[in-house]
Structure 1
Amino acid sequence: MTQAAVPDCRRAPGMQINSRSRQKWVANLATLIFVGAWWVYSLFVPAYQVPGPELVASLMLDIVVDFDLRLQLFYSLYHVLTAIALSFVIGFVLALVSKYCWQMSGFIDNRATPFLNSFSGIGWLFMAMMWFGVTSGTVIFAVTMILIPFAIINIRTGLEELDDEIGELGRSLTRNPILIFFKITLPMLVPYLFATLRTAFGVGWKVVLTAELFGGNSGVGYMLNSARQEFHTEMIFAIICFIILFVYLSEVLFFSPLQRQLKRRFARE
């Protein structure tokens, strides 16, 4: 009895390239259709409701050229990067304590992390406003508290999925826990650390706008609040589109190339 041949479902490299090319064309075409529909709709409504893309693009250029507007963008970038750094360090330490200190594991995994993950971001913001007032510290505190559970969960998952055999090999060569951590554990955690930073960067920009809108005295969220009070709809659209473009370019020019390098490196290993 002959066995039926199983078709090979794997795509040839040329087919994969053509598929990716078609996906890019479809994505670009869909984007152009959206912008075109936006432009057509803006012709029939007042600018204070839906401004046209050409007006929004002009104000986006002003954000780059005007010093005061550019300064507000730098304030937001400072808020995001500071909150990411603080949440990353705190989450990393808590994940390590949960992994290597069994007395604290239950508290961190079953109490602290679910609590932080379920606590409302607006709640953190309002509490920070009562404690610190309307300052940059309020924004950084609120964003940090929102990002901490992301860091704990991602890094804790990475620690659980480390190769035990490699760790055992390291312990057979040296009994120095610090050397084992920096030479073995930390390099194996790099993909998870990168995923944590990548996620925190995207989420941080979403959160920081809300935090600056209600509790900040600087940043693009503060600009959004000022534009809302003045019914400056064009500026609201320009700020939103600028942030989308900024995060997209960060993804394309920084995170995606770094992701490919990490993938090649760890695939070889």
Structure 2
Amino acid sequence: MLTRGVMTRWSLATRRRWATHIFTVLVIAAWAIGSSGVPSYLFPDPVTVFHRSVEFFLGYKLFSHVVASVTHVLVSLTLAFLLGGALALMAHYVPVTRAMVHGRITPFLNSFSSVGWTLLAILWFGLNTGTVIFAITAIILPVCIINLQAGLESIDAEMAEMGRSFTRNWGRYFRLLVLPAMIPFMFATVRISFGVAWKVALTAELFGGNSGFGFVINLARQSFDSSQIFAVITIIVVIYVITDNLVLAPIQRRLVRHYADD
């Protein structure tokens, strides 16, 4: 029975992988067929887009834009996570600030558009890296606040009270009780924010950046170079999928197992 169960799970996992690969091949095939009867400046074929994507990693000029966008996203994600975590912790453990954070700050940030933040940042900081980082951080900050607050509220009240009765050291209490309960929410926050950050980064770099993928798209738009635009989109998708599947997801599984064993 155990062998049959293992084989069934293995077979199911294999079928899922094959279904995913087949779907990807079908999408690329449909793309190739669809682009065959359309001018290349409107809808380039997959081979052309692949070659244009590779060009980003063969020369310093284009590769510098890859580095710029990755830097914008990572710095903004770090800032938003730290600020969101601080605000969520403050609202949770300092009750007098709860209405301020969840009733004023979060709704305001959540309702403000990415274009609005970008235009304001251009007026305040000019066309530079700071403008892009500010806009991305402002957009993903409420996502971090809401998700991390949900993690804090998921902690069982009786368990929290028992933990405080065993130690008055807040750092030890946070490390042994709060942090393990927050791990799933923290990684959910990072993984969601990472995807949102890439979307916002394109807009921010398009309007207010002097480097990055959005800046490249703006130049490609002016010259009607659609293959360049498709190449940028392809690279972003690949970066996101690789980072999420090969970096974030494995770390999350390892930490969840570690704290579960503890």
Query: TM-score, with normalisation over the residues of structure 1?
Result: 0.90
Task: Give the one of 236, 240, 243 matched to 1:243.
Answer: 236
Could you tell me which residue of structure 1 aligns to residue 221 of structure 2?
A: 228
RMSD, aligned α-carbons: 1.7
Structure 1 segment 193-212 matched on structure 2, within 5 A: 193-212=186-205
Which deviates more from structure 2 when the two are superposed, residues 210-219 or residues 180-189?
A: 180-189
CA distance in 2, matches of 1:111, 1:77: 31
Percent of paired sites with the same residue: 41
What is the SS of the residue equivalent to 2:192? Answer: helix
The offset of 1:196, in angstroms, is 1.3
Matched, 1:104 2:132: no
2:180–2:259 Cα contact (<8 Å) kept: no
CA contact (8 A) 1:212 1:219 kept: yes
Deviation at 1:41, TM superposition (A): 2.4
1:117 and 2:117 are equivalent in the alignment: no
Greater CA deviation, 155-164 or 19-28?
19-28
Contact preservation (8 Å) 2:131, 2:208: yes
- What's the counterpart of residue 88 of structure 1? 81
Amino acid at match of 2:217: L
Match in the other structure for 2:44: 51
Runs of 5+ unmatched residues, structure 1: 1-10
Structure 2 CA distance, aligned partners of 1:205 and 1:66? 23
Structure 2, gaps ≥5 residues long: none
Instruction: For 1:15 and 1:213, locate their aligned partners in 2 and report how far apart those are by CA, in whole Å.
Output: 49
Letter in 2 for 1:178: G
Task: Please state how far the C-alpha of 1:165 moved relative to its aligned partner.
Answer: 3.5
Aligned-pair distance for 1:156?
A: 0.4
Q: CA deviation at 1:266?
A: 4.2
Q: Please report how far the alpha carbon of residue 222 of structure 1 lies from its aligned counterpart in structure 2 after TM superposition.
A: 0.2
Amino acid at match of 1:260: R
Equivalent of 2:245 in 243, 252, 261: 252
Q: Hey, what's the Cα distance between the residues in 2 that align with 1:237 and 1:146?
A: 25
Letter in 2 for 1:203: V
Q: Are the counterparts in 1 of residues 147 and 185 from structure 2 also a CA contact under 8 Å?
A: yes
Distance between the aligned counterparts of 1:164 and 1:14, measured in 2?
42
Q: Which of 8, 16, 19 is residue 15 of structure 1 equivalent to?
A: 8
Give the ranges of 4+ consecutive aligned residues of structure 1 lying more than 4 Å apart after TM superposition: none
